[in-house]
Amino acid sequence: MFEVVYAKSVEKDIKNIPSRFLYKIKEEIEHLTEFPQVKNIKKLTNHPVSDFRLKVGDYRVLFDVDIRNRAIYTLKIGHRKEVY
């Protein structure tokens, strides 16, 4: 099992997301503890912020994985048009 760690910038990102989407996003982030057996994740190439993304409807969760410490660092959450 992995531990999910949120960056401070995620708090700001959450304020810009309508509340009707927040429950589903949070639910999908909690599934990241079972990495890599998670659906809707993709390894990103040459992305300046993160190595992976989680797709949740029209929203994306950008995150990094630290295998050694068994941690997932959630770095950014946003609409797909804004996050890349």
What b-and-e string marks burial along 35-72, b requiring 16 or more CB atoms within 10 Å of the CB?
beeeeebeebeeeeebebbbebeebbbbbebeeeeeeb
Q: What pLDDT is attached to residue 49?
A: 87
DSSP secondary structure of 65-82:
EETTTTEEEEEEEEEHHH
Report phi then psi at 13, rounded to 5: -60, -40
Q: What pLDDT is attached to residue 36?
A: 87
pLDDT tens track for 36-55: 898 899 999 998 989 999 99
Closest listed residue to residue 79, CA positions, set 31, 17, 23, 25 = 17
Which domains, ranges and CATH numbers included, belong to the chain? 3-83 (3.30.2310.20)
The model's pTM: 0.92
Q: What pLDDT is attached to residue 84?
A: 77
Average pLDDT, the chain: 94
Residue 63 has pLDDT above 80, yes or no: yes
pLDDT tens track for 69-78: 999 999 999 9
